[in-house]
Amino acid sequence: MINVAAIRMQQFGVQFYQASLSASDIDKLVRFEVLNYGESGQQPVRGGKKKSPKVNWDLLERRIASSEKAYQRQIIRRKIDELVEYYEQCRQARDLPSIAGAVIISCDEKLTFEPVESGSWVGRLKVPEREGILRAIDGQHRLLALHADIDRFGDEPFTVPAIIFDRLPEDHVVQMFVTINAKHTRLNASHLVSLSGRQLYRDEALAASHDVVRALSEREDSALHNEIKLLGVGKGRVGQAPLAQELKKLFSGDAFGGPRKAAEFRDDAKKFYVNYFKQIAVVFGAAWNGRKYSIKSATALRAFIRVAPDVVRRLDQEHADRSDFRAIGRVIAPWGRRIGDQRFESEGAWKRTDTTVDTLTRELKLALEYPEGAGG
């Protein structure tokens, strides 16, 4: 038996449990299955043939069963790829949980609940330790993405909130599945993307951050045009959240000379960052336009954002306009000499040095401080 912390709950005479399952519990106990249509030979996974390098689809597809008695729809390949990308961003940024909402699961066998004291709703839930004993009702894509990404977690503590039903009747399972997945309100995701930061967020720093990221993604003259996925929408490869959080930290703190100066800078931040990344694309031209480089990864972009206050201070020392395209180019020109395109080769220096946001930021700062080298 596996013992997990749980709360016993009851609604309309039905008893179920709110539990905390570890990633390894999920990986071992949950089975994944989709409906097939008999002779039609429908595959359990649908989507384009292009496969994400972060998901081993050959292994993952072997984990997904299909039968005429299942009720789940085909697994959407793109959705898994996007979730794995999001989990990785959360793991690197460490400021958002990747599976905050509870998944809904039904157990095939009897569960035993032991309250901490007589009559208590809090206690330990005993789940039979048998592979595939749990079946996902809601959250199958999230759990499959967890399964696909779990090797990267290492010794990272990771728990998933789960609603667990004890031997829920088959017709009740199907009814719950249909009710959850038949969307009564269809909100167009692009509606949220189109809102300005001040409409979306109360926090002025976060609102300004959203507006900067949106400008970087939407402006046609931006070097990151269509490269950022805004609020989960778009073709970009990098999510908005880690970039916005980096900007928020800068706008909220003393990085730009205190709250008053930071507030003044926020008004011109969109123009600065658009020109700043355009110059980065010039300085690292081969890497920016090449395919085997990691310069447009969340890690690299966050490092460039984090070092921006140092660039701004240099511009102030030169009494240059902070948004001046040529002045920004002069300030960051040492990066081309001191760091170079090869630093961003995915299978080269990038991987060999196990690059993080902190390490790359230090290198960029050092190159600004000593533009001609340590002996210059």
- Whether residues 221 and 200 share a domain: the answer is yes
Shared domain check, 208 and 138: no
Cα 71 to chain centroid distance, Å, stands at: 28
State how far the Cα of 262 lies from the Cα of 236, in Å rounded to an integer: 28
Q: What is the pLDDT of residue 178?
A: 64
Domain check: are 20 and 56 in the same one?
A: yes
**Statement to judge: residues 207 and 165 lie in one domain:** no
How many CB atoms are located within 10 Å of the residue 3 CB? 13
Cα separation, 332 vs 99, in Å, equals 39
Reduce the DSSP state of residue 39 to 3 states and report it: helix
CA 338 to the chain's CA centroid? 31
Q: Is 28 a domain residue?
A: yes
266 to each of 34, 60, 155, 204, 313, how far by Cα in Å?
Answer: 49, 45, 39, 9, 15
* Cβ partners under 8 Å of residue 163, min gap 6: 16, 17, 18, 19, 102, 103, 104, 105
Helix (H) or strand (E) holding 289: helix 285-289
Same domain for 212 and 143: no
Distance CA 358, CA 376 (A): 25
- Domain for residue 274, yes or no? yes
Residues 53 and 98: their CA atoms lie apart, in Å, by 20
Q: Mark whether 175 and 281 lie in a shared domain.
A: no
Domain assignment of residue 128, yes or no: yes
pLDDT of residue 217: 92
Question: Do residue 176 and residue 198 come from a single domain?
Answer: no
Q: Considering the domain boundaries, does residue 53 fall inside one?
A: yes
State whether 233 and 249 are in the same domain.
yes
Task: Provide the residue range defining the domain that includes 134.
Answer: 2-181
Which one of 181, 207, 229 terminates a domain? 181
Q: Cα–Cα distance between 179 and 341 in angstroms, integer?
A: 52
Q: What is the pLDDT along the chain (376 residues), one digit of tens a residue?
A: 889 999 999 988 888 999 999 888 888 888 776 655 444 445 555 555 555 556 665 666 666 665 555 555 567 778 888 888 888 888 877 877 888 889 888 888 889 999 999 989 999 999 988 888 888 888 888 888 888 888 777 788 889 999 999 887 665 666 676 666 655 555 555 555 666 676 667 678 888 888 899 899 999 999 999 999 887 667 778 888 889 889 988 888 777 776 677 777 777 899 999 999 999 999 999 999 999 999 999 999 999 999 999 999 999 899 999 899 999 999 999 999 999 999 999 999 999 999 999 999 999 999 999 887 655 4
Question: Given this model, what pLDDT does residue 81 score?
Answer: 83
Of 144, 162, 181, which residue sits at a domain end? Answer: 181
Q: What pLDDT is attached to residue 13?
A: 82
The tokens for 372 are 């001609």
User: Taking a C-beta distance cutoff of 8 angstroms, is the pair 123, 116 a contact?
Assistant: yes
CA dist 7 to 17, 18, 84, 110, Å? 6, 5, 29, 17
CA distances (Å), origin 272, targets 84, 223, 231, 267, 369: 32, 13, 22, 10, 21
| Domain assignment of residue 255, yes or no | yes
Give the total residue count for the chain. 376
List Cβ neighbours of 306 (8 Å cut-off, separation of 6 or more).
246, 250, 357, 361
Q: 203 with 154, same domain?
A: no
Pairing verdict, β 2-11 and 134-138 = unpaired
CA angle 330, 326, 310 (to 5 degrees): 50
Tell me which of 181, 201, 226 is where a domain ends: 181
Query: How far from the centroid of its chain's Cα atoms is residue 351's Cα?
Result: 20
pLDDT at residue number 376: 46
* 233 and 124 belong to one structural domain: no
DSSP E strand stretches across 27-158? 30-35, 45-46, 64-67, 75-76, 103-107, 112-115, 122-127, 134-138
Alpha-carbon dihedral angle through residues 95, 253, 280, 313, given to the nearest 10 degrees: -160
| φ/ψ (deg, to 5) at 75 | -75, 135
pLDDT of residue 40: 46
With a CB cutoff of 8 Å and minimum separation 6, the contacts of 60 are: 80, 144, 147, 148
pLDDT at 142: 87
Output the pLDDT for position 39. Answer: 46
Q: Is the pTM of this model over 0.75?
A: no
pLDDT of residue 371: 82
Residues 88, 220, single domain; the answer is no
When divided into structural domains, the chain yields a total of 2
- Domain-embedded: residue 376: no
DSSP, collapsed to helix, strand or coil, labels residue 302 as: helix
Q: Which two tokens stand for residue 356?
A: 């993080």
152 Cβ neighbours under 8 A, 6+ residues apart: 88, 91
241 with 348, same domain: the answer is yes
